[in-house]
Structure 1
């Protein structure tokens, strides 16, 4: 997790603090959202020295750049002082990235928690939130005042979902709720992408940049094995894989050493793979709960589906456990239909968010061999 202090745009030149070549003329390089909130203000710099205040118009010699280097790790910063009022939310499309800007008013400082989530849920009710796209970035602003407690003279932002034209990676920003000082949003992306978060001043803004780049990780998928069940897959350097004494080899993966007890259904392994002698359509539709997310895809030229769901307590796991699964149709074998299932489960002993990211990467390396 990246922990940042919520404050000024430190050690950033004007290019990183949002000078704009966007025809909208927004000082932070965003297109104006369809909102009735007040127009943003900006201060004109009085010298050539870097400043948190931004130029009031486009500067051809200073194109908009991401606010920081991006990655896929969670970013968090604490708010401070009196609660502030959210006055505007804007989206902008730029060369190589999309930008979300949350404008705020008040003497305090807003904080944030930003990270990918496999199962977006409303923070008030806990109900699933429908977010278009193949990956969801949760964005929660903290230290936010209720509209009835708005900062004097500030017009609270009018709630709505937002889209941006000609975007690089962003589909939609879905507004959730303002609950106990926490204002939640969900950004739907084409896939998991590196992101960067920072804070600007004059006026106060929290900026989330979504980069049109492949996710980078210090963990390389440099190890590879082939399962006798009929597939080969890569897994991360430093992870352990089962030897095949209890279940077929190359079907259980975890960042720590593990052993598989005989004759047990206990979940062993952060990511598991198995070939079931059950028709694809039956496996893809199995389960007592409606999936939170379901996307048709292909794995090594075979029909597949990615499913995210939350258990309801009927089966191996208690209610409320998140699961992400890939179901892949294989050619029939001598014993009938065959379906490959590769999944991860959000049990307390596992880092579910990390494992979902790793699952998505491992799936891209699969070769069907049988």
Structure 2
């Protein structure tokens, strides 16, 4: 299977960077966004200064404000929209596509309306014959735009399709591994955002590197416990889409989830910090969904539980930390 043309949906930082990467690799690519004004500005300036200031995009990207035109003739639909807009974007696509359906996404999170994984939402919309793949791993869009070394995972139960998606993205600085564990790759990409909030809170409160390392390590244990309950492969969560992305988002201030935690740990209120960041913070909604998923499967996730309490139950950071530290002692285990 070979793919030579792509429609990227979502002109935020990640969608723009993916479209530019694919265009620079020599493939035909169109870029669509629900904001016609944004698409028109990108077409005119060849820049996306709101999300990737100061960087110029490839002239080969075809910018389209109308979805049907953007998707026409393209072999792959690549979604890079926030999780809360994923299902709606699929429904709009379904109305203008003909089989065979080939979809991939770089969205990280769960569907906020149903709590389901995104591949389940896509299957419902496009049926069991659709080819589906998820892209995930430790990536900041601006570093991809600058051509800095990056590695990610392309996951699909159809490994030929995973390889076809990977082939669009690979070049001398962008390495793509393939994986057949679609659920595990999505789980890692979702849970890490919640844990990055916790790491940010810890650093915001001045707890230092020791505490951050402990949170990352025990957070990984929580991720793997939930993965085991859901049927994800442990090696997936120990790879780029799991521990790799977890380390990145917990330790670098380019992470919006980490920055949210930093602000909360410094005593600022949630709405103020959200306004300062000014972009989608996936970990907020994902914290509620992962907390509910863990409870449903009776999986112990104390860090996720305290992030949920912080965001949704009005618990102060100091109280959340105290509850974590005063948990009953036990042997270290996953």
TM range (shorter): under 0.3
Q: Which has the higher helix share?
A: 2
> Which has the greater radius of gyration?
1
TM-score, normalisation: structure 1: 0.24
